Each structure stands twice: as structure tokens, then as C-alpha cells.
Amino acid sequence: MKIVTPSEVDGTITAPPSKSIAQRAIAIAAMADGNSLIISAGDCDDVLATIGVSEQFGVLIDKTADTLSIYGGMRPPVIPLQCRESGLCIRMFAAIAATFKEEITLTGKGSLLNRPMYNIEECLHALGVKCTTNKGRIPVKVKGCIETTTGVIDGSISSQLLTGLLIAAPRIENDLELQVNNLKSKQYIDLTIDVINKFGVVVENQNYQNFYVKGGQSYKPCIFSVEGDWSAAAFMLVAGAIAGKVTVKNLKYDSLQPDKAIIKALEEAGADILVKKDLISVEKKPLKAFEFNASHCPDLFPPLVALASNCDGESKITGIDRLVHKESNRADTLKNEFAKLNIGITFHKNTMIVKGGKCKGGIINSQNDHRIAMSCAVAALVAKNTVRIENPQVITKSYPSFFKDLKSLQKK
């Protein structure tokens, strides 16, 4: 259990590396012919899962304090691929597995046990690949190479499978053309294509509805530096907005990461924001209710709820349909856990309505969801009494140093 004591915050931290970018870069480097260097990949659980699966594919990876040296070249794994709790990892490597003739099994643990995999099954079937799941859950078994190189994908649940297919495309001999319906999280696809481009492969994006990868391309090894993580930084920026002043370094303001949109929400709520070349400072001001559409950046819901709970009035956050299949059902989890802190949350169609108020102390259950633990910890900074968070170690999935960084900001 982690105890967070109410206090003002004032200080500077460095954003951890973006796990979304690091995972993509590691998977692509594993497919490249030669030696790539990934600088500042980080050590969160999802990144470690991607490293582990790459190694199971026979890829040699040397780790130093700040650099991964990846010697690309894959061969079929002999044991099930262990994706831990990473949804991106299992979806990326399911697509890559579909470029091998041998049957490959992908599995995981924890929250991944309950996350739906039927979209992987349906999509790979449409591309001529034999794929089975356990009634829509893991393990996922993939056998046979992609034969049909023109397919239709449902992008309404997640963009991660499309990411996987675009990354896997250079291993397919022929051109790959994908039609995508109702694509969500479009900026994550921008992120994917940007990383693919840096390794020398071209992807054509036609208005996020059709994607085309010409056959005969191959990844070239490169030196790739991972930028700071806006998803993680969002919690600390909100901490500054509600409890004092926080500066976060190692953030690219022109980043393609969708969670950079936290700045728009903070601006609308009335926080004082200072933007410089590679850092963002946020300082507390009187906060007013805001409206925000998080359909394409659903990971912002938890920090946005912590922000909204300190705003005067009712804030409205749209896109709760994107929260059902996360590490927990985040809409219900946020409602239930923030109720323990005396913050009211209601739902209207696809919108979450958060009524601002004074947080009280209490005992919070993270529900095995890293972003719930971080959201409640930030809200605890301005609670009347201490907040105790059960199962706080889940933050290692994305931000292992979260509690250390938060404590460094708290005034003694």
C-alpha cells in the first residue's frame, strides 16, 4: 500500500521515455537486417515485455544503462511468446507472427487475461491466416503467412493491430493494402508511420481510410532516440495545475503523441502554462470546468478526472466507449474509486461528467490499472486527509519512478 499525504508541489522532473514509441522502435529494430541502437528505451514493464518477445524470436539484444543494441533478424520462436500485460505487444507481434509459416502462440498475464483478442482473430482470418483464440481471450495462436494482401480492418476498438500489420508489412513479399473502418486513435498511427519511416520504409496513408505499403521494402538499422512520454507527463502537469507548480523536462512540444493534448485541457481549465523548447511548466490558478473529447487519446481520462475534480463546476469528457477494454473498465473504475474521495462522476451516453469538489482521504484500489493508481495519487495531493492506494506497484507497467518523482515534488 502507498500512502500519499496532501501537500503543495514545486519542482522539476524529467519525463520518462515514451513506452509507445520505444515498443514500436524495438519491434522494428528486431526486424531490421543489422545492428540498431535504441537510446533511452526505458525500463517499464511494457518495454521489457517487447524486449523479451523480440529475444524469443531469436533477436540478440545487449542492454546498457541507457541503450539497447539490437541485432536484427528473426526466427520462429520455440515457446509461447510472453507479452506480459501489454496490449500493444501482443497485437504487434501477432501481426509479425503472421509472416511465418510455423504456428506461433502468444500469451500474457494479469490484466491481459481479460482483454479481448477477437479482433486479432477476425483480421488475420481476413488476410488468409489461421488464427484462434480462447473464446476471444488469450492465448492467441497464429499459423500461416499472410496470403491475402488486401483486407478490411475494424479500427473502432484499437489502432494497435493496424500498427502491427504496418510494422509487419516489409516481411510480406507483395504489396499490402488495408482498408480501415472507423479508425480510433489516429495519432498513434501517425506515430507508427513516423517510426517506420525512420527505419527506411515508406507507408502511404490515404485519409486514415486506406493504407498502402509497397512490397520489396526492408528495414534499415539505425540509431533511434526515444522521446519523453506525454502520457506519463500528463499526471505531473495536472499535479502542478491543482497543487502548486511543476516543470517537466524531456517533452517535445511538436510530438506526434496524442496525449500531448493534455495541454489543451489544461488551457481550457485555466491553468497557467509556460512552454519552452523541451520543457513544460504548469502552475496552479483558479480552475474552471472544461469540455474535452478524448476519443483519440483515451489514456488521458485518468489525469483529466484528477484535473476535473478540482475545477469549479461540471467538466465533460467524451469518449468513454474507448475505456471498456483497458487494464480495467476505466470508466466504471474511475467512477467507483473517485467516489471514495467524495468526487461525483456520472455518465451520459458517451460522455463522463465530473463534478468538481474537495477530495477527502480514503483507501483506493488501483484495480490493477497503472493509470488509476497515478490518477488517485495526484488527486490525493489536495485531499483533506491522506489517501492510501492498494496495489500501487502496478505503475511499473508504464512509469516505474512515478511515486519517487511525485515525492520529489512535494514540499516537505
Q: pLDDT tens digits for 111-169? A: 899 888 998 999 999 899 999 999 999 999 999 899 888 888 888 878 999 999 999 99
Catalytic positions are 299
Question: Strand (E) positions, 2-100?
Answer: 2-4, 9-14, 35-39, 60-63, 67-71, 81-82
Let me know: does 196 contact 167? Beta carbons within 8 Å: yes
The CATH superfamily of 19-213 is: Enolpyruvate transferase domain (3.65.10.10)
Domains of the chain, residue spans: 2-16+228-409, 19-213
Q: Among candidates 151, 146, 265, 128, which has minimal Cα distance to 210?
A: 151
Q: 275 forms bridges with which residues in the sheet?
A: 280
Phi then psi for residue 281, to 5 deg, are: -115, 135
Query: DSSP labels for 171-223?
Result: GSSS-EEEEEES---HHHHHHHHHHHHHTT---EEETTTEEEE-TT------E
b/e code 370-399 from CB counts within 10 Å (16+ = b): bbbbbbbbbbbbbbeeebbbebbebbbbbb
- Residue in the block written with cell 522539476: 12
- Three-state DSSP at 281 gives strand
User: Could you list the pLDDT tens digit for every one of the 412 residues in the chain?
Assistant: 999 999 999 999 999 999 999 999 999 999 999 999 999 999 999 999 999 999 999 999 999 989 999 999 999 999 999 999 999 999 999 999 999 999 999 999 998 998 889 989 999 998 999 999 999 999 999 998 998 888 888 888 789 999 999 999 999 989 999 999 989 889 999 999 999 999 999 999 999 999 999 998 999 999 999 999 999 999 999 999 999 999 999 999 999 999 999 999 999 999 999 998 889 999 999 999 999 999 999 999 999 999 999 999 999 999 998 876 555 589 999 999 999 999 999 999 999 999 999 999 999 999 999 999 999 999 999 999 999 999 999 999 999 999 999 999 998 7
Joined grid coordinates for residue 33: 537486417
Q: 204 forms bridges with which residues in the sheet?
A: 212
Based on C-alpha coordinates, what's the Rg of the chain? 21
Same fold across 2-16+228-409 and 19-213: yes
Pick the CATH number of 2-16+228-409 from 3.40.50.1950, 3.65.10.10, 3.10.450.710, 3.40.50.300: 3.65.10.10
